[in-house]
Structure 1
Amino acid sequence: MKAFIKKYQWLFEFIGVAIILAVGIFAFVKQEVFLYIAGFALIIMGLLRIIPLLKTTKDMVLKIIYAVEILLNVVAGVLLVLEGGKDDYSENLMRYLVGAVLYLRGAIYFFATVIRKEATDHLQFIVHLAFITLGVVILATDYFTVKNLAFVVLILAIIAAFFIGYSGFRNYKNYRYERLAREETKKIIQKPAEKEEEGYVDPAPVKEDIIIPEEEEKEELNI
């Protein structure tokens, strides 16, 4: 299977380019798709987190806070999905809900680690600091809109398609040259084999006149 994927990697890359461009163009034309993406992302992350998070949290206060947070995430996701089905959807609803979710996640993290003394590490600190900062930026500015996201995604799709397409072009070129080299090698190997199959043919014997000694003596006597 690995050999097959490696051999036809260029094919998967070409298909990937087509899919990426199609998604980027579709998202740019149908901008409400971002409401569905954000909505389902919040719903899935909320539902898949709830059981492991509550089972591994010993602090009862944090359990209640986490449960409320997840419930709010799911509600926000449902609202975004429902909004995406409307013809006159609100462009600011996603900005408010996503910004609020990110800010709430960061605030709860700092409450849990500072007030409730929950264990943490440097990476979690940096990530949640970014969450709370990004949440404030999204809520305070109007850059996080469906139109801007569609434009950004389209640009990223074009850039990604270019690099993946270039990689696919190189892999396909190598594939064709390797195939050509194998064919030429087969031809070179087959030529000596064909000569051996023909076999060795002895040259035809050259006829020479044989002189018998008695005849030589008779000729001398006649002289």
Structure 2
Amino acid sequence: MGYGWALKWLLAAILIAAGILVKINEVEVVYATTGIAIVLFSLLRIYPLLKSLSKEVLRTINLFEIVFDTIMGGLMIYVAFSGLSGDPFWQGMYAYLLAVFFYVRGFIYMVSLYFFAERSEALKFWFHLICVTLGAGLFVLALTSTGDIILRTLGWLILFVSVSGGLYLGYDGYGGYRLYRQQSKSLQEQKGKSAPVEKELPKPQPQPEAEAKETYIN
């Protein structure tokens, strides 16, 4: 019997609590979450990306992007944990940083596709097209509104994702727990039943040995 349901319930509680904390400490958590996500996205793709690219110029371009994104993500993490995220300047800068991240990712992909004949799938093309559009949209939004609007919108988004993920894990854990209890009940019922008595086979009776005939010698 597995206890994976207990781990799922624990993760569900952590996810929901994290979502609530996002709303309590909205700006700091959104800044930190975004920065950590960008750093992980950049560092975890270094080796497979550079190894799979066939042209040296593409490796160089993507390496510059990875270094730039890592620095930008590190800056976001620093702002979050140094208490600067509440400053109006950094609240306004958040939208610009996010816009640059998405736009650069989409732009480099399009350059690789058009100028260097890099092959790709349709799904990746549409994803990077969305990145370019999202980057441009965030830039315009940053110019026409205050930065805290984007931060608070992402805060609600993180809360929604956290609570949804927590509820899903909780429901999945409930199914695992129900199966665990059914297995436990079945095990108890098997223990309660008496084991079938095996009938002893009749023991073989010893056969009388034939009497040896005496031989007389005249």
TM-score after normalising by structure 2: 0.72
| CA 62–36 in structure 1, closer or farther in 2 if over 3 Å, else same | same
1:12 pairs, out of 4, 7, 15, with 7
Structure 2 unaligned regions, length at least 5 = 200-218
Q: Determine the C-alpha separation between the residues in 1 that align with 2:191 and 2:132.
A: 65
Once the two structures are superposed, residues 87-142 of structure 1 have per-residue CA deviations (whole angstroms, 9 ceiling, x without a partner) of 42422322211111111111121122112322333232122112112222222236
Which residue in 1 is equivalent to 2:162?
A: 157
| CA 162–117 in structure 1, closer or farther in 2 if over 3 Å, else same | closer
Which residue in 2 is equivalent to 1:135?
A: 135
| CA 160–121 in structure 1, closer or farther in 2 if over 3 Å, else same | closer
1:86 pairs, out of 83, 88, 94, with 83
How far does residue 175 in structure 1 lie from its aligned partner after superposition? Answer: 2.0
Q: Determine the C-alpha separation between the residues in 1 that align with 2:160 and 2:118.
A: 41
2:37 pairs, out of 33, 36, 41, with 41
Total equivalences in the alignment = 188
Q: Determine the C-alpha separation between the residues in 1 that align with 2:194 and 2:149.
A: 65
Which residue in 2 is equivalent to 1:95?
A: 95
- Per the alignment, in what secondary structure is the counterpart of residue 91 of structure 2? coil
Q: Give the alignment of 1:70-219 within 5 angstroms.
A: 70-84=66-80, 85-87=82-84, 88-89=86-87, 90-141=90-141, 145-190=150-195
1:23 pairs, out of 14, 18, 28, with 18
How far does residue 57 in structure 1 lie from its aligned partner after superposition? Answer: 4.2
How far does residue 183 in structure 1 lie from its aligned partner after superposition? Answer: 1.5
Which residue in 2 is equivalent to 1:202?
A: none
Contact persistence 1:95–1:144 (CA under 8 A): no
Larger Rg: 1
Paired-residue identity, %:
28
Higher relative contact order (CA 8 A, sep 6+): 2
| Alignment root-mean-square deviation, CA | 2.7
- Per the alignment, in what secondary structure is the counterpart of residue 98 of structure 1? helix
| CA 15–116 in structure 1, closer or farther in 2 if over 3 Å, else same | same
Which residue in 2 is equivalent to 1:209?
A: none
The residue identity in structure 1 corresponding to 2:140 is: A
The residue identity in structure 1 corresponding to 2:179 is: N
Q: Determine the C-alpha separation between the residues in 2 that align with 1:113 and 1:184.
A: 65
Runs of 4+ in 1 over 6 A off after TM superposition: none
Once the two structures are superposed, residues 136-170 of structure 1 have per-residue CA deviations (whole angstroms, 9 ceiling, x without a partner) of 22222369722222222222222222232223223
